Amino acid sequence: MSDQGTESTGWQLDRSAPEAYEAYLVPAVMEPWAARLVDRAGVAEGDRVLDVACGTGVVARHAAARVGDGGSVTGLDVNEGMLEVAESTAAGTRPGIEWRRGDATDLPFADGSFDVVCCQQALQFLDDPAAALAEMRRVLDSGGRVALSVWRPLEYHPGYVVLAEALERHVGEEAGVMMRSPFPPWDAEHLRTLAREAGLGDVAITIEVDAGRYPSVEAFVRREAASSPLAGPIAAVAPEVRDALVREVADGLEAYLDDEGVVLPMESYVLVARR
């Protein structure tokens, strides 16, 4: 996908962070993981599905394709901008998806409201992941399933190791910290303990491996910036600093370049459990 038409003046992007997330990160990274998570959850016709911290709704859209007219899908997020993009992107989806604003640690639903609860790459961002898991269990019907994914630690994501280190050097320490934040230092046993302490049973954790692909290293850096709070800090530095940033990332990712751009291996934990 070309960058033409997506940047208005250099690194000053002409779309919001939620719009950029849906346009750039969903097709490059999140889409295949969403399909896999819905598979792991065993979403089937007639299921009532909740997508917690749904973002722009990629998991909810995949679930809607499975549940049929007898099922339902609800996407919940605290971010109004994400929900607006989710609703626009899913317009015309059947069955229609209900979008709700709410806190993952205080879900606005009655006990036993859902057969499946999904949560893709969000648990690590929550202030109280244990409370969120307890809430996911509460809103599940008897025998219902939770399916969630959490990136493995940063060292399993070579592209983001390079990008975080380059951001720290060229933009600032806070930018490096921000880029590391999606990759918590959790292992499988930490996730298993969180799930069990929330009252979930039959906990199964797998390690899944896939890759993100971008047409160039510069596109990788731009799109990651556009889709996150990094957009402002990176746009604010001098053009020569951004050029140096991209060169450093390109040098660090030389082993991952091919004739179609740059491919970035990624690894995630996927946890499935039952109430």
Long-range contacts formed by 106-110: CB under 8 A, 24+ apart: 106/135, 107/50, 107/52, 107/76, 107/135, 107/136, 107/138, 107/139, 108/76, 109/50, 109/74, 109/139, 110/139
**Average pLDDT taken over every residue of the chain:** 94
pLDDT (0 to 100) of residue 13:
53
Amino acid type, 235: A
**Interval 203-230 mean pLDDT:** 94
**Quick check: 109 and 103 in contact, CB under 8 A?**
no
In the predicted model, is pLDDT for residue 4 greater than 60?
no
Compute CA distances 193 → 125, 189, 190, 269, whole Å: 18, 6, 5, 14
Question: What's the pLDDT tens digit per position in 116-174?
Answer: 999 999 999 999 999 999 999 999 999 999 999 999 999 999 999 999 999 999 999 99
pTM recorded for the entire structure? 0.92
CATH 3.40.50.10140 correct for 7-274: no
Domain regions of the chain by residue span = 7-274
pLDDT (0 to 100) of residue 114:
98
3-state SS record for the chain: CCCCCCEEECCEECCCHHHHHHHHHHHHHHHHHHHHHHHHHCCCCCCEEEEECCCCCHHHHHHHHHHCCCCEEEEEECCHHHHHHHHHHCCCCCCCEEEEECECCECCCCCCCEEEEEEECCHHHCCCHHHHHHHHHHCEEEEEEEEEEEECCHHHCHHHHHHHHHHHHHCCHHHHHHHHCCCCCCCHHHHHHHHHHCCCEEEEEEEEEEEEEECCHHHHHHHHHHCCCCHHHHHHCCHHHHHHHHHHHHHHCHHHEECCEEEEEEEEEEEEEEC
- DSSP lists the bridge partners of residue 201 as 274
Q: Label residue 16 by pLDDT band (50, 70, 90).
A: confident
pLDDT (0 to 100) of residue 232:
87
In 10 A of CB 69, how many CB atoms?
9
Question: What's the pLDDT tens digit per position in 246-274?
Answer: 999 999 999 999 999 999 999 999 999 99
In whole angstroms, give the CA distance from residue 40 to residue 206.
Answer: 10
Q: At 250, phi and psi to the nearest 5?
A: -60, -45
Name the residue among 112, 122, 34 with its Cα closest to residue 78.
Answer: 122
In whole angstroms, give the CA distance from residue 63 to residue 51.
Answer: 9
